[in-house]
Chains A and B, each alone.
Chain A
Amino acid sequence: MKKYEIKLDRRNFLKSSTLLGISSVAPGVFFQELAHARDLDKPASSKIRWGMLIDTNQCTEDCDACVTACDEEHGIEDFGRPSTDTQWIRKLNLTDEFSGKSYNLPMMCQHCENPPCVDVCPTGASFIRADGIVLVNPHTCIGCRYCMMACPYKARSFVHENLENQVPHSPRGKGCVESCNLCVHKIDNGENNTACAEACQKDGHQAILFGNLNDPESEISKQLHKYGGKEIRSDLDLNTAVRYRGI
């Protein structure tokens, strides 16, 4: 039997241990860099503020790709009861009373900097994350619906039904209030886009642009700087993270 002799001198030891070190650390560093995923042990950073710019000129009346994508992403079922069915995002049609011109736009949680839903929530289940995402903690929501009374955009839904087939990344619960969470699971995974924005881009409308409002080099900041972005109900001074163009 052939006997393998391992010659372990100092040079070989250093060479092999360096190679081993690089080969074990490099993929992690590489993939981490590739994905820009947030380290989930660390809190969200206030250096980032996620937001959306919606170009109503690109949004068409017959398209509801954003709504369908949101429902699929978060496992939102239709029970055939429109008044109680959950809607995280909806298509709004507007007609100018003066000119008669029509507009279409998606409406969802506007992720206010000063959210009324967070102010009124008795248990603090409604909260705003450091990166500007307004969320509901489904463990401490008692289902009082005061946040729904307070929301100026009717962006929240109460879960009126028993839920089945939930998706693991978007836990929901009967008797709790919920709303658009800006696809926070995708942000934390480093995908940095939302299901609605992806669907809109895929359909070729480019009406929804998602990005970091605090980064002057981001596409959303550049477009906001160039075209501006209207805040819905700006009279309430809520400083929303979702802005609209073309209305």
Chain B
Amino acid sequence: MNLVRYKSIEFDKKILFHVIIILIMFAMSLFAFTTLEHEGHWLTGMNNQVVWGVPHVFAIFLIVAASGILNIASISSVFGISAYKPLSRLSALLAIGLLVGGLMILVMDLGRPDRLIVAMTTFNFKSIFAWNIFLYIGFIFVVVIYLWMMFEGRYNKHVSKVGMFAYAWRIILTTGTGSIFGFLVAKEAYDSALLAPLFIAMSLLFGTAIFIKTLYFLRIYFDVKTGEIIFKRLRKLLLYFILAVFYFTVLFHLTNLYATTHHDYEFFLLFSGEIYTYLFWIGQILLGTFLPLFLITSNKINSTWHSLLLASLLVIIGGFIQLYVIIISGQAFPLDMFPGYIESSTFSDGIVAEYTPSIYEFMLGLGGIAIASLIFILGILSLEFIPDSLEDEYLQN
């Protein structure tokens, strides 16, 4: 087996082009941020019923993907499968970028972002949100140390220990993120401990899909040669995680269908919820689950990077839609404060709340992606993150 070498990249026109696009995206998010800060949140589609909207979908997507993308490194340093070792550095870099991007969206969407210092210094430890602040910031810290251990030859021997710690940390982190919703006892759509493992499975899936997409472009742009081993492993990984998310999704809905008290919400989501029903069946299930499954498993088309990329892109789109369905439909569905009564009021009681995301919300979300991408590009420009070759003779299967 040959020894894998790593390389950094030179700043060239290709990179410049990407940086310009990133800066445009970031400028758009800054514009949205300052406009909302100045005018107020009425410019968004969010309202007093749907209080978390598209920015939160972007943010939570990036945060859970950050946790999941580090799984590539964990497979090598925790589970000892050394074929993934050359990808560990990239996995950790992407994890930091995605998390910072996600957090930035959350902060930019706050009603009082100027009080970030309050959020960082005044804690209510009964709140899972307060715990998550520690989990997120701690995650960045842990991954930086993890990277240090990987880069510094003298400390390579500690990689597995730090990797194990990071692995435990990210499982707790994603549990915390899922529990933001799981602990909401008042809302029919949430209030389930199953949301925590569902979010863990989602994180593994979204992280793997983003990693595959990134690797695909690294192959093209920076001539990273890949062999059969890494291709087959990543394909199999994506397959397992699609099945895991599907399993928890089915379990979540079956549990709801069993309990009469949740029937109304299930009927709404699965049959009568219009946009949410379409998004669930067409977006999450067809585009995000069955189509990528077909692309990965079909004997005729499963053997190319193109089909794997397409499957990953579908998983990313489906995952975004899945989070949209979870976050928005759960708020839009009316609270049942008076079982057995039909409710009406001037405050959307008894009816499905309206929500149409505005352009400002998407702009905030793009800012998070821009920051994640910028961190990634700065990383690969300045340090040796990219493996020279991922051909079979460089990998231990």
Contact = CB atoms under 8 A, between A and B. Distances in A.
B111 A143 contact: yes
A143 B110 contact: yes
A146 B127 contact: yes
Interface stretch (A14-22, A47-55, A115-123, A198-206): A115-123
A95 B341 contact: yes
Contacts of B126: 119-120
B112 A143 contact: yes
Given A124-B124, A174-B111, A145 B186 contact: no
B185 A116 contact: yes
A123 B348 CA distance: 29
Contact of B119 (A96, A122, A176, A247): A122
A92 B48 contact: no
Contacts of A161: 40, 42
A92 B354 contact: no
B112 A84 contact: no
Given A123-B118, A146-B127, A154-B349, A160 B133 contact: no
Nearest to A143: B111
B47 A153 contact: no
Interface string B244-274: 0000000000000000000000000000000
Contacts of B353: 83
A94 interface: yes
Main secondary structure of the interface of A (DSSP, over half): loop
B123 A122 contact: yes
B129 A149 contact: no
Contacts of B123: 122-124
A151 B338 contact: no
B49 interface: yes
Contacts of A93: 343-345
A224 interface: no
Main secondary structure of the interface of B (DSSP, over half): loop
B77 interface: no
Contacts of B95: none
Given A94-B341, A233-B337, A150 B111 contact: no
B60 to A, nearest CB: 13
B272 to A, nearest CB: 17
Interface in B259-312: none
Interface string B124-151: 1011111001000000000000000000
Interface in A144-180: 144-146, 148-154, 156-162, 173-177
Contacts of A103: 341
Contacts of B111: 141-145, 158-159, 174-177
Interface in A202-216: none
A236 interface: yes
Interface in B41-89: 41-42, 47-49, 51-52
A107 interface: yes
Contacts of A150: 184, 186
Contact of B129 (A85, A146, A158): A146
A145 B46 CA distance: 11
A46 to B, nearest CB: 19
9 contacts: A87-B346, A122-B123, A122-B133, A142-B110, A143-B112, A143-B115, A148-B51, A150-B184, A157-B48
Given A95-B341, A98-B340, 12 more contacts: A93-B343, A93-B345, A107-B337, A119-B127, A120-B183, A121-B127, A141-B111, A143-B113, A148-B48, A158-B48, A160-B40, A236-B185
